Structure 1
Amino acid sequence: MKLFSRTPRRAARRHLAAATLAGLAGSVLLSTTGLATAPAAKAADPTCLTGTLKYTFASAEAKTTVTQPARGLTWELWGATGSGSVAKLSTGTTSSTGAYNACSASASLGSAYVRFVAGRTGAWKVVNKESNGTTYTAQTATQTNVSGSKALGTTTVTDSRAGAFKIADVVSDFYAVRDSGTACWTRLQSSGCEQLTYVWTSTRTNGGYFDLDGTNFVILAKDDAKSAHIIVHEAGHWFQWALYSGWFPPSDCPSTHYVDKASAVSCAWTEGLANAVAGWVLGDKRYVRADGSVVPYVPAGGGYYSGGDKTEGNVAAALIDLWRLDGPNGTWGVNLDLTIKYGSDHFKEYFLTNRPRASLPVDGAARDIIESHGIFY
């Protein structure tokens, strides 16, 4: 059992420096007796570009190409006022329908466009390569002589960048349930957040892994972006690493491992946890491959797979049910706290050693859950 101190964190984590206060300038008091008060000037109406961002890309789950709203992603309004040069005027995030309302306080803009980022500033992003990779972007057509509010309709990303926007959109589902209490991914941070980075291109042939021994990025092959389950599963590995503050259980995975077949205890623990995260975020208990084929965490017809806690599917299904058991209203917060404080090399250590230390049950309904998924201690 690894007991983690909450401080210090590894050097890679950065925290924002405290802001310094400027000195207060002296004030001069003037008498206003007998002076008429001029009416306040009416503020100019803002200039806004509005619309919706969507992407078109293949879905392994739907087994077809679909067009979806790009949710929770950063937008930036770029424009020029008067004879000035083009600059970033405002920023925000797309809504749950992919909508944006990008406004400038200026009464008019000589030119303006909205730029979209495949990610959310400071939280996650999708880049095109490991070293100094460029974050994917898209943008509207440039508008000229804009005043008031102008509706641009729907901007749809359909080319070689669409997979990056799908990845970024799917991650917004994960971010929405991270249960950190801050803008950061985990409760370890409140500022200077750890950023989840994906590497993907429409031509990349290797991928489908978390680069633990290198960049700490999630690396996806071109077809991996088809599966929301693969996208979140690989982020689940990154999430465990982030919760463990840069530590990760030792790997004993064979070169090929399977959801429904026994491998080894640490392999089943880390892969099972990543599968559980995907199931938790997406609301099911299955692994969906890029080709659309499905491997359920629980065999068709019920029961469990052989191999006990050496089988990923058994561990994943047990974790999802335990998280629901432990948290009020189905939240997983107490298990996130457990993971932050205690490191587990395998499911047995998590269940028998670290759950009691976190005042979580190992008997009664908890015992029934793991035994219903083929894990007996």
Structure 2
Amino acid sequence: MQAYLVGGAVRDELLGLEVKDRDWVVVGATPKEMLANGFKQVGADFPVFLHPRTREEYALARTERKQGRGYHGFTVYSAPDVTLEQDLRRRDLTINAIAKTEDGDLVDPFHGRDDIKARKLRHVSEAFSEDPLRILRTARFAARFRPQGFTVSEQTMALMQDMVDTGEVDHLVPERVWQEFQRALHEKAPEAFFDVLRDCGALSVLVPEITPSAVFPLAMKALHCVDKQTNATTEERLAALLSPLDESLALERAKALKAPNDCQNLARLVTAFTPQIRSIDPQQPDAETLLDLLDQADLWRRPERFLQLLSVLECALSDESQTINLLRTASNVATGVDPKALLAKGFKGKELGSAIRTERLKRICDAVAPTNH
């Protein structure tokens, strides 16, 4: 029974990056032997165990065989006769198929170190084509490692294009697609994820609305801009990606991706606001229009989401900064209206609501008057 450090831990160490998770593969052991050594089994689909002290994951060496289409069509074989090389062969990319012995020696049967030096993302074997999720994983690694100069190898790109052509991507379940999208949106260069998907043809299957040449650069520009902001959320990132679309298309795609409701709602707001922002003359702003926009955004109950909205609009509509600043000014003064003060003056019921709106409108009007901006 031998244990080897594998995958991302070995790769990141070779790249000089911080190692966050350490995963191990065990060759020559049975589940019974692992349990006898104090490991706790946690894997349902295949034998994975937690180390009794470190709590790091130890998986028994295994092979996988394609039985159907899509991500779930696999049978797993795990037994003491599965070799380390057989286990590494089933992995996606050569840079993820390097193992390290407990003594520190590297086992690299698929030349992952050469590809690290060449900055190439290359598939380990033709078995790559059996799992369409690997297209998304490869694109995500491109997004993570673009700052280090990594690109997808020509052979791997050609293989991914063939997978798209044969319809493998059509069989991906939306929940798994969203998991990869969400992670990719937070990688070092998220736009690289979509560049790779577009180059291999998968984007036209997964998010066809942003694929056209008139739309794609706008989506990438907005996403890149939001990505540069501090602590940009998933909601802001997805809304930026879908910002060039019409409201109905953006909401439909966010739903199809199984994005959470908060993501769907911000994408809807950004795309609904876009034509309205463009219709405002910043030299002659109408206070009523600005207040209507604040109402649409539900600023009064969702101030945090309103700030997200402004953040994305600033990136998606960089040529409308004057109008967006007016909207920000309007929100600042309108939220200063204190309903309790008006209540103390005797307003109540519908009269209170009317008085609050009148006061908000007056403050906005004063703040955005041409002499003040």
Scaled by the length of structure 2, the TM-score of the pair is: 0.31
- Higher relative contact order, structure no. (Cα contacts within 8 Å, ≥ 6 residues apart): 1
More strand by share: 1
- The two structures have a TM-score, normalised by structure 1, of 0.31
User: Which structure: larger Rg?
Assistant: 2
